[in-house]
């Protein structure tokens, strides 16, 4: 019998489905479709926890399922994106190669997936993230990768060649692999009421993010994440 306790798990499985669909879309070079699948996965990732709290049915089983779904949507997907961009940026391109194939040259893109797994395993056992994050959360890492994917797909501002270059991607992969498992505190996006006090950083970041979206549109996401990182390193939140 279906019960209300299964509703959050069903939402989590929708997150997982969207993550799998995003991987297929990236490998098929259907990058806009991949973006929308990940957009939906993000909402489902938010929705399962919200549903569990509203229904009062939180469980360890649900938490583990959520972590597994996140590993696909926000761990495997960014690795596949980096792999795909590195493969696309090979110079010269492999003769008569398929749209996507295996290449050791592009394999370092999957390192982010490994560090995402390390992060999710680490913080499954760590209870310090009650208010803020420690290190970069996997969805934040994914947003940056998705932004590069969209820039490549649309050649926004003529930057496609740059975001598929190993000179750009290898440092990005190394940086996010480190940040995923770092101990640096990062503010979360939980708004504390409707007041300015206590929400200053979040409100300022939201305003900057909106301005970047309006100015850069699809190319904005890596810059939004960049602003997020700069704010956190210049004015880190307190550890909780």
Output the pLDDT for position 96. 45
Residue 218 has pLDDT above 60, yes or no: yes
User: pLDDT tens for residues 112-141?
Assistant: 999 999 999 988 777 777 678 899 999 999
* In-domain check, residue 192: no
Output the pLDDT for position 1. 56
What number is the average pLDDT over the span 169-182? 97
Pairwise pLDDT comparison (100 vs 204), residue with the higher score:
204
Least confident range of 13-27, 129-143, 185-199, 218-232: 185-199
* In-domain check, residue 155: yes
* In-domain check, residue 113: yes
Domain region containing 34? 4-183
Number of domains observed in the structure of the chain: 1
Output the pLDDT for position 2. 59
What number is the average pLDDT over the span 10-18? 97
Looking up residue 25, the CATH number of its domain turns out to be 1.20.120
* In-domain check, residue 237: no
Whether pTM exceeds 0.85: yes
Output the pLDDT for position 193. 66
* In-domain check, residue 188: no
What number is the average pLDDT over the span 32-46? 97
Please provide the average confidence, as pLDDT, over all residues in the chain. Answer: 90
* In-domain check, residue 190: no
Pairwise pLDDT comparison (179 vs 196), residue with the higher score:
179
What number is the average pLDDT over the span 137-158? 96
User: pLDDT tens for residues 58-111?
Assistant: 778 888 999 999 999 999 999 999 999 999 887 655 444 456 667 888 899 999
* In-domain check, residue 82: yes
Output the pLDDT for position 53. 86
Residue 144 has pLDDT above 80, yes or no: yes
What number is the average pLDDT over the span 211-232? 96
Supply 150's token pair.
């969209």
């Amino acid at each position: 019998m279906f019960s209300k306790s299964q509703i959050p798990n069903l939402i989590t499985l929708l997150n997982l489905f969207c993550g799998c669909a995003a991987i297929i879309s990236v490998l098929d070079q259907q990058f806009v479709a991949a973006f929308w699948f990940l957009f939906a996965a993000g909402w489902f990732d938010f929705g399962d926890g919200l549903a569990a709290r509203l229904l009062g049915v939180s469980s360890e089983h649900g938490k583990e399922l959520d972590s597994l779904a996140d590993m696909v949507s926000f761990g495997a997907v960014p690795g596949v994106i980096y792999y795909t961009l590195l493969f696309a940026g090979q110079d010269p391109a492999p003769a008569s190669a398929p749209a996507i194939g295996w290449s050791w040259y592009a394999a370092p893109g999957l390192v982010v997936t490994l560090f995402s797994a390390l992060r999710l395993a680490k913080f499954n056992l760590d209870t310090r993230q009650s208010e803020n994050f420690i290190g970069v959360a996997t969805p934040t890492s994914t947003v940056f990768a998705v932004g590069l994917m969209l820039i490549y797909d649309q050649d926004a501002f003529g930057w496609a060649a740059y975001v598929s270059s190993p000179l750009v991607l290898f440092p990005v992969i190394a940086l996010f692999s480190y940040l995923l498992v770092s101990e640096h505190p990062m503010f979360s996006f939980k708004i504390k009421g409707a007041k300015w006090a206590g929400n200053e950083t979040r409100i300022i970041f939201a305003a900057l993010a909106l301005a970047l979206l309006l100015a850069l549109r699809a190319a904005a996401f890596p810059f939004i994440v960049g602003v997020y990182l700069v704010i956190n390193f210049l004015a880190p939140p307190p550890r909780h």
